[in-house]
């Protein structure tokens, strides 16, 4: 509003007549300074005007009553035209005032309206502001709620994902645990099933004595079977099947023994299981590694009705002997501990020749319990050649015993076994017994007769154990027989051997296979001496110790003397000391 208050004045006459002049028309154009609100200005104007009016009216009435004649009374409502004219002549002064009043009233109303409008506008603006504010507040609240909701959702998702991660870790750990347990279980089962337990060469395993037979005052036979857990179930069958497989594998190769422990003194000695005729006569159901070739057999093995494999030992009690004496006091039902097997000479490999045509010979000098390895060797050869006995080496066993009870007992299992082998091999396995009590001993003549060295007339040559010292010149001249360098058939190798053929020939390493040249066989006949130390020393000379093991050493004793006399014994025979 750019208008300004142009004139506003009141003139008060001295004589009391009031002549107020207010340029009201111009009030319309009253303008308000910016420092005053319209309301204030109007209030001020109202006040001034009210004062002026009151003063004006009172002054006017006083003046009128003083200077004007009194108004004639209205006698009737129908005045005359003259009176009306006169009246009209008087009225202009009143009308002006009325007009002024009316104008003032109108102005006031106008001002009031303006004020009202302004107020209304203000109110509207205020309401609008409030609305907008309210809206903003509501929007803010909404946004906050939305944000809170989003945050909640994000938190939820995060916690869910963390929870998921946690549960994943637990699940994965669980799966890994179960998997490991399963693998471990399968591994144990595999080990359990395929191991040779309950007999292994790492630790002693319990065996129960199921039979005991006294065959002489000093010798007895015990039969043992493995002790397996009562709750083993199928696993037990696997273990027993493993033991049977082991028996079959060993029966194909030659000599082997197990240790028996005396638990009080914690000492162990080697003892040689007697071969089982059932095992030796078994059909070709196991391969050379003892693996089952027949599914029916596998079924049988897993059957609880399948006979439990057993081991038989011929043991002689030696006076003052720690283990043999302790064993002689054991009864049926007692438990003893076994560890093994410990394999020795592989007679099958040592007698074998590639495309050999000559008949081979094996001779045993067995003293007392030394018959056990002789039976093992004979049994292996029988098993290997049972399908073609014509190719089987001739096996002659001379068994020396102290008393006649050792060989004469009616149901002596050893004699029984010898007899059965003799019959089954159709004479390829032969045996004779000597009894000290009867004045019958093994002599040099027995050896000469059985080896037939006297009948052969080979050119004189050096003994095999001196062959290494023979002159190169002589070898060049061909005066000496061409020596085989084969591990199994060379006397040079044998002299330092600890008798551990087994495990070597089983291996895939060609070094341990027979390396004799085809058509040029080396030593093919075996003369084996097995018995107590004194017996062995007497016939083949002592062994010697080297590098912690007992070595074969040179041949001595009775056989050593014979080799000097009969060079063919040195050339055609290998002497093995058991
Ligand atoms: C591969 C192999 C297989 C064998 N197979 C069998 C078999 O099938 N059957 C069998 O019966 N035997 C077998 N033996 C022999 C067996 O291992 C024992 O050597 C035999 O049973 C004697 O052992 P021991 O503990 O009873 O006697 P040890 O205590 O070893 O005594 C042996 C001898 O020495 C004497 N002796 C012990 N201590 C002393 C001392 N301090 N002073 C003087 N003398 C003493 C004893 O009187 C006894 O005559 C085998 C041996 C080997 C190496």
Range among 170-179, 235-244, 279-288 rated most confident: 170-179
Q: Both 458 and 562 in a single domain? A: yes
3-state class (DSSP) for residue 344: coil
Establish whether residue 320 lines the binding site of ligand 1, counting it when its CB lies within 6 angstroms of any ligand atom: yes
Q: Which atom of ligand 1 is nearest to the CA of 325?
A: 26
> Where does a domain end: 343, 375, 402?
343
In a domain, 484, yes or no: yes
Kindly report the average pLDDT of the chain as a whole number: 77
Q: Both 403 and 321 in a single domain? A: no
Q: Which residue range forms the structural domain that includes residue 463?
A: 360-578
Q: Both 308 and 393 in a single domain? A: no
In a domain, 115, yes or no: no
Following CA atoms 290, 294, 296, 301 in sequence, which dihedral angle do they give, to the nearest 10 degrees? Answer: 10
> Where does a domain end: 343, 368, 387?
343
Q: What is the pTM (predicted TM-score) of this model?
A: 0.65
In a domain, 89, yes or no: no
Q: What is the pLDDT of residues 251-269, one digit of tens each?
A: 887 899 999 999 999 999 9
3-state class (DSSP) for residue 241: helix
In a domain, 337, yes or no: yes
**What is the pairing mode between strands 267-271 and 361-367?**
unpaired
pLDDT of residue 533: 93
Q: What is the pLDDT of residues 355-413, one digit of tens each?
A: 555 667 899 999 999 999 999 999 998 988 888 888 888 999 999 998 888 887 667 88
3-state class (DSSP) for residue 465: helix
In a domain, 481, yes or no: yes
Q: Both 374 and 333 in a single domain? A: no
Q: What angle do CA 242, 339, 284 make, to 5 degrees?
A: 30
Confidence of residue 77 (pLDDT cuts 50, 70, 90): very low
Q: Both 477 and 543 in a single domain? A: yes
pLDDT of residue 167: 74
Q: What is the pLDDT of residues 80-115, one digit of tens each?
A: 555 555 555 555 556 788 888 888 888 888 888 888
Beta bridge partners of 367: 400
Range among 37-41, 238-242, 244-248, 484-488 rated most confident: 244-248
In a domain, 529, yes or no: yes
Q: Both 423 and 366 in a single domain? A: yes
Percentage above 70 pLDDT, the chain? 70
Establish whether residue 314 lines the binding site of ligand 1, counting it when its CB lies within 6 angstroms of any ligand atom: yes
Q: Is the pLDDT of residue 324 over 80?
A: yes
Confidence of residue 541 (pLDDT cuts 50, 70, 90): very high
pLDDT of residue 11: 39
The rounded Å distance from CA 560 to ligand 1 centre is 25
Q: Both 334 and 364 in a single domain? A: no
Q: Is the pLDDT of residue 279 over 70?
A: yes
Q: Both 318 and 446 in a single domain? A: no
399 versus 234: the higher-pLDDT residue is 399
> What SS3 string covers 104-153?
HHHHHHHHHHHHHHHHHHHHHHHHHHHHHHHHHHHHHHHHHHHHHHHHHH
21 versus 244: the higher-pLDDT residue is 244
**Mean pLDDT value across residues 181-203:** 74
Look up tokens 């009202």; give the residue. Answer: 116
**Mean pLDDT value across residues 423-430:** 92
pLDDT of residue 531: 94
Q: Which atom of ligand 1 is nearest to the CA of 342?
A: 1
How far is residue 531's CA from residue 372's CA, in Å, rounded to a whole number? 9
Kind and range of the H or E run holding 440: none
ipTM score: 0.94
Confidence of residue 495 (pLDDT cuts 50, 70, 90): confident
pLDDT of residue 333: 96
Q: Both 311 and 219 in a single domain? A: yes
Check which CATH number belongs to the domain holding 309 and give it. 2.40.30.10
Q: Which atom of ligand 1 is nearest to the CA of 326?
A: 26
Q: Is the pLDDT of residue 482 over 80?
A: no
Q: Both 372 and 294 in a single domain? A: no
Residue among 369, 377, 413 whose CB has most ligand 1 atoms within 8 A, to mutate: 369
Q: Which of 278, 285, 291, 258 is nearest to 379 (CA)?
A: 278
Establish whether residue 257 lines the binding site of ligand 1, counting it when its CB lies within 6 angstroms of any ligand atom: yes
The rounded Å distance from CA 318 to ligand 1 centre is 7
* Residue 248 neighbours by CB distance under 10 Å: 23
The rounded Å distance from CA 547 to ligand 1 centre is 22
Ligand 1: which residue has its CA nearest to atom 32?
321
Confidence of residue 532 (pLDDT cuts 50, 70, 90): very high
Residue among 218, 261, 271, 376 whose CB has most ligand 1 atoms within 8 A, to mutate: 271
Q: Is the pLDDT of residue 70 over 90?
A: no
pLDDT of residue 561: 94
Establish whether residue 366 lines the binding site of ligand 1, counting it when its CB lies within 6 angstroms of any ligand atom: no
294 versus 549: the higher-pLDDT residue is 549
Q: What angle do CA 248, 293, 207 make, to 5 degrees?
A: 35
In a domain, 390, yes or no: yes
The rounded Å distance from CA 314 to ligand 1 centre is 13
Q: Both 395 and 535 in a single domain? A: yes
In a domain, 54, yes or no: no
Q: Both 397 and 507 in a single domain? A: yes
Q: How many domains does the chain have?
A: 2
Confidence of residue 32 (pLDDT cuts 50, 70, 90): very low
Please report, in range form, the residues annotated as the binding site for FAD: 314, 323-324
62 versus 389: the higher-pLDDT residue is 389
């Amino acid at each position: 509003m750019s208008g300004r208050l142009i004139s506003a004045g009141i003139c008060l006459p001295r004589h009391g007549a009031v002549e107020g002049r207010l340029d009201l028309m111009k009030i319309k154009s009253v303008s308000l300074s910016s420092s005053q609100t319209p309301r204030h200005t109007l209030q001020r104007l109202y006040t001034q005007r009210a004062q002026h009016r009151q003063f004006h009216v009172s002054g006017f009435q006083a003046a009128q009553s003083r200077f004007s004649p009194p108004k004639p009374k209205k006698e009737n409502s129908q005045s005359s035209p003259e009176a009306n004219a006169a009246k009209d002549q008087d009225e202009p002064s009143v009308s002006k005032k009325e007009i002024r009043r009316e104008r003032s009233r109108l102005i006031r109303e106008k001002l009031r309206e303006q004020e009202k409008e302004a107020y209304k506008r203000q109110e509207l603006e205020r309401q609008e502001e409030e609305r907008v504010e309210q809206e903003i507040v509501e929007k803010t609240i909404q946004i906050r709620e939305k944000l809170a909701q989003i945050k909640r959702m994000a938190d939820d998702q995060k916690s869910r994902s963390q929870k998921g991660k946690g549960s994943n870790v637990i699940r994965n750990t669980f799966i890994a645990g179960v998997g490991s347990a399963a693998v471990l279980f399968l591994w144990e089962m595999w080990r359990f099933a395929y191991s040779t337990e309950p007999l292994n060469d790492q630790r002693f395993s319990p065996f129960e004595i199921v039979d005991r037979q006294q065959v002489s005052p000093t010798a007895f036979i015990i039969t043992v079977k493995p002790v397996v857990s009562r709750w083993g179930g199928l696993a037990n069958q696997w273990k027993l099947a493993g033991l049977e497989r082991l028996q079959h594998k060993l029966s194909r190769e030659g000599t082997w023994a197990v240790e028996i422990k005396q638990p009080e003194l914690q000492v162990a000695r080697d003892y040689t299981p007697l071969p089982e005729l059932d095992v030796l006569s078994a059909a070709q159901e196991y391969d050379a590694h003892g693996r089952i070739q027949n599914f029916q057999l596998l079924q049988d093995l897993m059957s609880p009705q399948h006979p439990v494999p057993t081991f038989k030992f011929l043991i002689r009690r030696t006076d003052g002997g720690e283990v043999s004496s302790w064993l002689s006091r054991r009864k049926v039902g007692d438990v003893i501990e076994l560890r093994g097997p410990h394999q020795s000479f592989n007679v099958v490999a040592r007698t074998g020749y590639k495309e050999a045509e000559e008949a081979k010979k094996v001779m045993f000098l067995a003293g007392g319990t030394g018959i056990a390895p002789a039976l093992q060797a004979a049994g292996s050869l029988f098993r290997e050649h049972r399908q073609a006995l014509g190719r089987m080496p001739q096996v002659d066993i001379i068994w020396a015993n102290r008393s006649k009870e050792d060989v004469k007992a009616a149901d002596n299992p050893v004699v029984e076994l010898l007899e059965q082998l003799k019959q089954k091999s159709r004479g390829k396995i032969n045996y004779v017994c000597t009894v000290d009590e009867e004045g019958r001993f093994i002599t040099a003549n027995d050896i000469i007769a059985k080896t037939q060295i006297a009948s052969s007339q080979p050119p004189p040559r050096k003994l095999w154990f001196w062959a290494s010292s023979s002159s190169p010149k002589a070898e060049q001249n061909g005066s000496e027989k061409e020596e085989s360098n084969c591990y199994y058939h060379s006397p040079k190798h044998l002299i330092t051997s600890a008798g551990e053929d087994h495990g070597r020939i089983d291996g895939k390493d060609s070094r341990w296979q027979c390396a004799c040249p085809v058509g040029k066989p080396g030593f093919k006949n075996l003369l084996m001496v097995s018995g107590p130390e004194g017996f062995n020393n007497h016939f083949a000379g002592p062994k010697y110790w080297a590098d912690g093991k007992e070595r074969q050493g040179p041949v001595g004793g009775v056989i050593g003397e014979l080799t000097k006399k009969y060079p063919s014994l040195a050339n055609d025979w290998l002497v093995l000391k058991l």
